Amino acid sequence: MKMLYIRVFILLAVVFSLLPLDLFAQDSIRLPVVSPYTGGLASFGEGVKNGAMLKAEEINASGGINGRKIEIQMEDDLCEPKEASNVATRVANNKDVVIVIGHLCSSATLAALPIYKKAELVAITPASTNPSIGKSSGYYFRTVYQDEFQGAFLARYAVEVMKFKKIAIFYEVNDYSMGLKTAFVQEAQKRGVTIIGEEAYTSATTDFTPQLAKFKIMKPDALFIPGYAPQGTLIINQATKLGMKVSFFGADGLDDVIMLSNKNAEGLLVTTPFLAEAAGGSAKAFIEVYTKKYGKEPNWFAANTYDAVGIAAEAIAKAGANRQKIRQYMVAINSPEKAYKGVTGSTYFDKYGDCLKPAFIKVIKDGQWGSAKEQLK
Amino acid sequence: MNWQEVLDRSSLFLLQLTNGLTLGSIYALIAVGYTMVYGVLELINFAHGEVYMMGAFIAYHLVSVYDVPFFAAFAIALVICSAFGIFLEYFAYRPLRDARRLVALISAIGMSIFLQNLALIIWGAQQKSFPYKKLPSLFSSMAFTLGDINLSYLQVFIFLLSVVLMFVLHYIIRHTKTGMAMRAIAQDAKAASLMGINLNRVISFTFAAGSFLGAVAGVLVGVYYNAIWPTMGYMAGIKAFAAAVLGGIGSVPGAILGGTILGVAEAFGAGYISSAYRDGIAYAIMILVLIFKPAGLLGKSVVQRR
C-alpha cells in the first residue's frame, strides 16, 4: 500500500510540474507581439521587442491593467507568410488572447489576416503598410500610415524637393514592396516624372548586377528601392561597384542601422514614420528612457510598437478581456477627439482601421541618420 | 536603330558577360569540390556548401574581430577549411563508407544542417559584411572603364584566381602521384587499394582540395557581394551542384564548364528575360541538357563507367 501512495505522489508531482506555469498566475494578461526576431530583419524585430517590453514594464509599474499584470509573449514569424500563418493560428486558438500586436512585414500580415478575422480577434500592426490590409479585414488596425500615403508622399518629395526627372525602380517581390511601388508610380507620373525602368528581385538573391547593369545603360537620375534594408545595402554597394552615378532613395523598409556601415549609402534618402528630432513632448521622454535602458536610440518600429501596446492595454482596460468588446472599442476610436495620444502623435482609425500619421524624410550624412534638410509640410 | 542604341546594347551585353563570368568562376570553384568527391567516393557531399559558408565567416571573423590583414585572413581561412574538409570526411563519411550510399547521403545532409546552425549560434542570423576600411583599397577601384563598360580589380582578381587554381588542380590530377591515385580510385576503388594505394589518405586529400576551392569561393563571394550569412551555402551549393551535374558529375573540366555556363546563363537570363525567374532559368538549362545528354556535357556515359 505504501508503495502505491509513493507512486501516486510521484505521478501527481510529475503532472503538476508539466502544467504550464500560468495556470497558477491566472491574473496576468498575455499579449502576443509577432514580428521577425531572427533572420535578416532581426534588427527591426529588436525595436519591436524593446518598444513592447518598455511599454509593458511601464504599465505594470503603474498597477497593470485593472490590477492584472501584462505579459508580452514574443512570437517569431521570420517575415515569412508561411510561418506567419502558423503563428497566427496558434495565437488565435488560445482563448486567453484577446488582442494581438503584429505582424511586421506586409506579406506576413496579409497571411495572418484571414486567420484573425475568422477568430474575431483584433490585431494591431505597428509596421505593415500595404494598402489592402485595412480594406480586407475589419479586425486589423494599424499605428502606422499606409503605402498609398507613403508612396505618394515620397513621389512628391522626389519631384518637389529633389527634382528627379528620370527614376528607375528596383523592387522586391513581396506585398510591401509592390504596393509601395504602385502608389509611388501613380503619383510620380501624375507629376510628370518618367519611370524609365522597373526590375524585380527576390529576397533570397544577393547578386543584383544583371538588373543594375540594365539600369546603368538607362541612365536614371535616381534609383528607387522600395524594399528592405538587408537587400537595399547590397543593391547600393553593387550599383556603386558597377560605376553607377545616381541618387538612391527608399522608404521605411530601408530605415535601419545596417545602412550606416555602408559608405556608399551616404546621401541615401528614406521615408520614416518617426523622427526623433521632430518628435513632440511625450516622445522626448520616451526617447530618453529608451536610450538609457537599451543603449541606443529607438527606431521607428520601437516607437510604433510602444504605442500599439499602449492602445491594446487601454482597449483591454476599458472594454474588458473580450474579443468582441475590444473590437467595438477599437472601431469607436474614430475621431481626433477620441484619439490615443502616444509618442508617435495621436492615433485614430478610419472605417478601414487605417490611421493618418505624418511621414518624415531621413538622410544619411557623415555615416549617421538625420533629418533631411527640407521636410514636406 | 541609331548608333547610340547600338552602343548601349553592346555595352549592356559586355557588362552582363563580365558579370556572368565572375559568377560562373565562383560556381565553377564550388562545383569542382562536388565533382571531385563524387569522382572518388560516388557520394554527393551536401555539406560542401557549408564549407563555402564557413570559409567566408572565418575570413570575416579574422578581419573584423582580430584585425588580421585581408590576404592573411584569406590564407588562414583556406587552411582551416581544408583541415575541416578532412575532419568532415573522417567523422561523417568514413564510418559509413561500407554502408549503403543513401546512408552517407543522409549523413551529408545532417552535417549540412548541423553546420548551418553552428554558424547561426556563433555569428547570429544577421547578414555580415567585411568592414570596407580593412579590405585592400584596390578592390573597390576600377581596372578598366570604357563608356558604360567597366571591370573592377576585384572581378579581375576573382576570374584570374579561379583560372590559376583550375590549372593547378588540373596539374595535380594529371601529373602527380596523388592525382594518379585519385584517378585510379575513381575507376575502381577496390582494385586501387589492392595495388597498394592508401585509400584513406587519397580521400582525405580529395576532401581537403575540394574544401580549399570551396572556401576560396566563399571568401571571394563574401567580398564581392559584401554579404555573409549562415544559410548562404544552401543556394550556392545547390547551384554549384547543378553546375557539376550539367558538366557531367565526376568530371573536373565538366564542372568548370558547367559552372561557367550556369553563371553566364543566369546573368543573361536575369538581364534579358526576367530577373524574377533567374534561378528558374539556370535550372531549366540543366534539365534541358540532362534530357538530351543524361551524363552531362563532359561526363562519361554510364556504360563506360561500369
pLDDT, mean of residues A342-359 = 91
Candidate from B126, B140, B221 with C-beta closest to A40: B126
Helix axes of B199-225 and B48-65: crossing angle, nearest 10 degrees: 60
Indicate yes or no: CB of A209 within 8 angstroms of CB of B12.
no
Q: Which amino acid is at B87?
A: F
Contacts of B16 in chain A (CB under 8 A): 210, 213
pLDDT, mean of residues B209-238 = 91
- Range with the poorest average pLDDT among B205-219, B268-282, B283-297: B268-282
* A207: Cα within 13 Å, side-chain hemisphere: 25
Candidate from B126, B148, B276 with C-beta closest to A173: B276
Domain count, chain B: 1
DSSP 8-state symbol, A73: E
Indicate yes or no: CB of B145 within 8 angstroms of CB of A243.
yes
The distance of A376 to chain B (nearest Cα, Å) reads: 34
Class level of CATH domain A148-272: alpha beta
Residue B137 falls within a domain, yes or no? no
Per-residue pLDDT band at A16 (split at 50, 70, 90): low
Is residue B306 predicted with pLDDT exceeding 50?
A: no
Indicate yes or no: CB of B227 within 8 angstroms of CB of A201.
no
pLDDT, mean of residues B239-250 = 88
Residue B285 falls within a domain, yes or no? no
Per-residue pLDDT band at A17 (split at 50, 70, 90): low
The distance of B173 to chain A (nearest Cα, Å) reads: 32
* Chain B residue closest in CA terms to A216: B148
For chain A, the average pLDDT equals 90
Residue B112 falls within a domain, yes or no? yes
Contacts of B148 in chain A (CB under 8 A): 216-217, 243
The distance of B98 to chain A (nearest Cα, Å) reads: 38
Instruction: Output the pLDDT for position B278.
Output: 78
Residue B114 falls within a domain, yes or no? yes
Instruction: Output the pLDDT for position B1.
Output: 63
- Within chain B, residue ranges assigned H as helices are 3-41, 48-65, 70-88, 101-123, 153-175, 177-187, 189-194, 199-225, 232-247, 252-268, 278-292, 302-305
* Domain span including residue B119: 18-127+145-233
Is residue B305 predicted with pLDDT exceeding 50?
A: no
The distance of A261 to chain B (nearest Cα, Å) reads: 8
Fold of A28-145+279-358: Rossmann fold (3.40.50)
* B36: Cα within 13 Å, side-chain hemisphere: 31
State the residue for C-alpha cell 563571394. B221
Indicate yes or no: CB of B129 within 8 angstroms of CB of A261.
yes
Instruction: Output the pLDDT for position B140.
Output: 74
Digit-coded pLDDT (tens) for A66-123? 889 999 999 999 999 999 999 999 999 999 999 999 899 999 999 999 999 999 999 9
Indicate yes or no: CB of B267 within 8 angstroms of CB of A211.
no
* Chain B residue closest in CA terms to A37: B125
Instruction: Output the pLDDT for position A3.
Output: 62
Instruction: Output the pLDDT for position A18.
Output: 57
Q: For an interface test with A, which of B226, B266, B281 has the most A Cβ atoms less than 10 Å from its Cβ?
A: B226
* Cell of residue A38, nine digits: 531572427
ipTM: 0.79
Q: Do domains A28-145+279-358 and A148-272 have the same CATH topology?
A: yes
Contacts of A207 in chain B (CB under 8 A): 19, 23, 225, 266
Per-residue pLDDT band at B49 (split at 50, 70, 90): very high
Indicate yes or no: CB of B19 within 8 angstroms of CB of A213.
yes
* Chain B residue closest in CA terms to A243: B150
Residue B268 falls within a domain, yes or no? no
Is residue A33 predicted with pLDDT exceeding 70?
A: yes
Instruction: Output the pLDDT for position B303.
Output: 46
- Range with the poorest average pLDDT among A1-15, A159-173, B22-36, B210-224: A1-15
Digit-coded pLDDT (tens) for A203-234? 888 889 889 998 998 899 999 999 999 999 99
For chain B, the average pLDDT equals 87
Q: Contact, B128 vs B229, CB < 8 A? A: yes
Contacts of A40 in chain B (CB under 8 A): 125-127, 229
The distance of A281 to chain B (nearest Cα, Å) reads: 34
pTM of the model: 0.84
Residue B11 falls within a domain, yes or no? no
Instruction: Output the pLDDT for position A178.
Output: 95
Digit-coded pLDDT (tens) for A258-291? 898 888 899 999 999 998 887 777 889 999 999 9
CA-to-CA distance for B206 and B81, rounded, in angstroms? 13
Q: Contact, A58 vs A85, CB < 8 A? A: no
B278-306: buried (b, 16+ CB within 10 Å) or exposed (e) per residue? bbebbeebbeebbeeeebbbbbeeeeeee
Say how many C-beta atoms besides its own lie within 10 A of residue B192's C-beta. 21
Higher pLDDT, B133 or A33: A33
Indicate yes or no: CB of A213 within 8 angstroms of CB of B8.
no
* Cell of residue B183, nine digits: 584517378
Candidates A291, A289, A288, A227; CA nearest to A254 is: A227
Contacts of A202 in chain B (CB under 8 A): 276
Contacts of B235 in chain A (CB under 8 A): 204
Is residue A293 predicted with pLDDT exceeding 90?
A: yes
In chain A, where the domains are located: 28-145+279-358, 148-272
* Chain B residue closest in CA terms to A172: B276
Digit-coded pLDDT (tens) for A187-200? 999 999 999 999 99
* A280: Cα within 13 Å, side-chain hemisphere: 8
Per-residue pLDDT band at A13 (split at 50, 70, 90): low
The distance of B149 to chain A (nearest Cα, Å) reads: 8
Contacts of A233 in chain B (CB under 8 A): 129, 226
B7 class by beta-carbon count within 10 Å (0-12 exposed, 13-18 middle, 19+ buried): middle
Q: Per CB distance under 8 Å, which residues of A are interface residues toward B?
A: 38-40, 42-43, 173, 199-202, 204-207, 209-211, 213-214, 216-217, 230, 233-234, 237-238, 241-243, 258, 261-263
Per-residue pLDDT band at A2 (split at 50, 70, 90): low
